Amino acid sequence: MAVMTYRDALNQALKEEMRRDPSVVIWGEDVALYEGSFKVTRGLLSEFGEERVKDTPISENTIIGVAIGAAMGGLRPVAELMTVNFALLAMDQIVNHMTKIRYMFGGKTHLSIVIRAPGGGGSQLAAQHSQSLETLFMHVPGMYIAVPATPADAKGLLKSAIRDDNPVMFLEHELLYNSKGEVPEDPNFLVPLGSCEVKREGKDVSIIAYSRMTVLSIQAADELEKEGVSCEVVDMRSLSPLDMETILTSVRKTGKVVVVEECWRTCGLGAEIASRINEGCFDSLLTPVRRVSGLNVPMPYSRKLEKLCIPQVENIINAVKEVIKERY
Amino acid sequence: MTIKLRAVLPDRDLLHLYEQMVLSREFEESCAEQYTKGHITGFLHLYSGQEAVAAGATHALHKDDYILSAYREHIQAIVRGADPKRVMAELFGKATGICKGKGGSMHLFDPEISFMGGYAIVGGQFPIACGLAFSVKYRNEDRIAACFFGDGAVNQGTFHESLNWARLWELPVLFICENNFYGIGTEVHRSSALASIHKRTCGYDIPSEKVDGMDVIAIYQAVKYAAEKVREQSRPFLVEAMTYRFRGHSMADPGKYRSAAEVELWKARDPIVTFAARLLEEGVATEDQLDCLKAKARFIVKEAVEFAEQSPWPDDSEVTTDIYVGIQEVCPWR
């Protein structure tokens, strides 16, 4: 084990997989010479050269389309979108092409693509650079979605994503890049796609979260512990495939659920989780599933206003206290 | 001045081009009939009139060069070597179809013949062609990627992004524009500020050439030259073939935006009829030989229709396969 940042864990995953497999190639805006807007690709150009680490024009749709073609030709491209907001410029290649090609071509090809995209709010980047778009991708069949919360998961999931034969949307959180944690150094350490992890055991309430919301949920659980409330934090880690069994097992144990999502509440993934819990273990529920969500507004710039739009630790604490109080 | 056929290709190849074009026409006209009977449903975009482009261009490429196209692509797949039976079965939505009936008319695909797909979002194939060309260059393979598209696709962002990208990364992509003058019902001058599409590449420092798309030999020569340049230099090239579709945009289109006189003018330049006349005039073939090739084409298409009719529908279990590698279900939890 070594203690390292989420950024360095991702960087290590990229380096290890590029050393392991010459078919792994990387491109995106400013990923090579500039070493990435968030410096996740630091040192890659000097180690692997410009045939494998490539700067691209600001053409997001084509960044993904070229990755699709290269994957069809047998390579394993890792395409970086500078931020997830720019994925909206590439939605034609992502949704109309990448997620459809295997199916509409009768299974005659597969696309080993990883799209890395930093996102999330909290850096005062205002409406166009602060979105949490995970639900948009989750709605579409044909791709996997990884949402790591810790450095270890960031590394293990990225390595699994690069080795997987399916397209993977790999959503990194901009506010987690500097967070630190223990990371296994074994180059064969992998975290499987499609497995939730109970990050903190508890018996009174299940908090279901992902990415930075998992980190906040653990903080909330620590605070609540002091008040005698025992929370179990289930980190989704992948939104697709979604390991509902781990979630349902936790819900069967506690009977009370808070889902924490950074995305907008309307049709957000929390609604989907609540619905699947209803379908899967309604009998175990002691109270309705509660959601803590991003506010349904475009993100404001001002620090004071921005804070109102993103779930905070106290919002999670309050939601847990309310479900604890509820009696049905 | 028209070049003599035998100065370009041996008799066997000339007859092969004729055979491919008559097979193409027979196939497409049979599709129209099957559509009217309700055997083919959904969108159906037919290629009649444009046969010289697919036949001439494909003949000029190597067998393992990648080919990509849009949604009017039955013929590009067939002249590349797709089995007409399996293409027709795909159009019928049958299990024996080239894509198991999951793609239909607009999404034919067969990597075994390097036919890398029909794409139905206008302009979607440009960056994918660049990506395939990158894989070729990365692995130092002796192949190029040929990307067919229509005049309507050149106002999509992907066209410009991909031209820039292909030149910047020096990718072996041959862009082949089939300019049939109409994007559905909008004439090219009503959609493009510069309707002369081959001139648009100058902004990306890419060479280009315009060619008569009704003349299979002219296409063959232009694409042969362009493909050699692409292969030698590992750089893109664009060929614009001026052609015409004899039918509407799709079977749903009566084509009222074109005058009868205009259509007749182009039909008088039917690429199959004019090529047949040249074959006879230059003594490459006799009437009997050409009739024989036509009969053969009719037989192949008849067999294809019978095969499609008799083929089974896909099993219900197929609806959730081929989405992901490794798992069968749409939603593993459900």
Determine the residue among A53, A64, A72 to mutate to test chain B binding: the one whose Cβ has the most chain B Cβ atoms within 10 Å: A72
Mean pLDDT for A156-174 is 98
CB A84 within 8 A of CB A131: yes
Dihedral (CA of B216, B221, B224, B226) sign: negative
Q: What is residue B334's predicted lDDT score, i.e. its pLDDT?
A: 39
Query: Which residues 30-89 on chain A approach chain B with CB closer than 8 angstroms?
Result: 51, 54, 56-57, 59, 61-62, 64-75, 77
Q: By the CB < 8 Å criterion, does B102 face chain A?
A: yes
Mean of the per-residue pLDDT values of chain A: 97
- State in words which class domain A197-325 has: alpha beta
Confirm whether A232 is a catalytic residue.
no
| Closest-CA residue to B79 (of B149, B18, B9, B121) | B18
> Contact A72/B128, CB-based, under 8 Å?
yes
Task: Tell me if residue A197 falls in helix, strand or coil.
Answer: strand
ipTM above 0.90, yes or no: yes
Cα B272 to Cα B53, B76, B81, B260, B299, distances in angstroms = 11, 16, 20, 20, 18
CA–CA separation, A246 and B64 (whole Å): 48
Domain A2-183 -> CATH class: alpha beta
User: For position A326, what pLDDT does the model report?
Assistant: 86
pLDDT value of residue B332: 45
Does residue A244 have a pLDDT over 60? Answer: yes
Model-level pTM greater than 0.90? yes
Tell me the two tokens of residue B246: 């004899």
Torsion of CA B262, B54, B117, B103, to 10 degrees: 60
Joined tokens for residue A174: 């901009």
Catalytic residue among A16, A17, A35, A60: A60
Cβ of residue A21 closer than 8 Å to a chain B Cβ: no
Q: DSSP per residue over B170-224, as a string?
A: T--EEEEEEE-SEETTEEGGGT-SS--GGGGGGGGT--EEEEETT-HHHHHHHHH
* pLDDT score at B1: 57
3-state secondary structure of B136: helix
Secondary structure class of A263 (helix, strand, coil): strand
Question: Which residue from B minimizes the CA distance to A64?
Answer: B127
Which chain B residues contact residue A74 at CB under 8 A?
Answer: 135, 139
Least Cα distance to B175 among B127, B106, B104, B117 occurs for: B127
From the CB of residue B100, how many other CB atoms can be counted at a distance below 10 Å? 24
Q: How far, in Å, CA of A90 to CA of A64, rounded? A: 7
The confidence score (pLDDT) of residue B328 equals: 57
Q: How much is the pLDDT for A58?
A: 98
Bridge partners, B118 (sequence order): B69
The C-alpha atoms of residue A51 and residue A55 are separated, in whole angstroms, by 10
What end-to-end distance do the CA atoms of chain A give, in Å? 46
CA–CA gap between residue A185 and residue A196 (Å, rounded): 22
Neighboring chain A residues of B145 at a CB cutoff of 8 Å:
69
- The answer to whether A60 is a known catalytic residue is yes
Spatial CB neighbours of B30, under 8 Å, sequence gap ≥ 6: B88, B301, B302, B304, B305
Q: Tokens 């390579």 belong to which residue? A: A75
Region A74-89: what's the mean pLDDT? 98
Token digits of residue B230: 């692409």
Q: Of B32, B180, B133, B208, nearest to A68 (Cα)?
A: B133
Domains annotated for chain B, with CATH where assigned, are 5-320 (3.40.50.970)
pLDDT at B326: 87
Per residue in A186-224, pLDDT (tens digit) is 999 999 999 999 999 999 999 999 999 999 999 999 999
Min Cα separation B275/chain A (Å): 35
Q: Which among B127, B168, B330 is the nearest to A65, CB-wise? A: B127
Q: Give me the residue from A25, A166, A242 closest to B324, CB to CB.
A: A166
**Which pLDDT tens digits describe chain B residue by residue (334 residues)?**
578 999 999 999 999 999 999 999 999 999 999 999 999 999 999 999 999 999 999 999 999 999 999 999 999 999 999 999 999 999 999 999 999 999 999 999 999 999 999 999 999 999 999 999 999 999 999 999 999 999 999 999 999 999 999 999 999 999 999 999 999 999 999 999 999 999 999 999 999 999 999 999 999 999 999 999 999 999 999 999 999 999 999 999 988 999 999 999 999 999 999 999 999 999 999 999 999 999 999 999 999 999 999 999 999 999 999 999 987 554 544 3
Domains in chain A: boundaries:
2-183, 197-325
Residue of B nearest to A68 (CA): B128
CA distance B214 to chain A (A): 31
Instruction: Establish whether domains A2-183 and A197-325 are of one fold.
Output: yes
Q: How far is CA A43 from CA A3, A8, A156, B79, B184, in A?
A: 19, 11, 20, 47, 50
Has residue A328 got a pLDDT over 80?
Answer: no
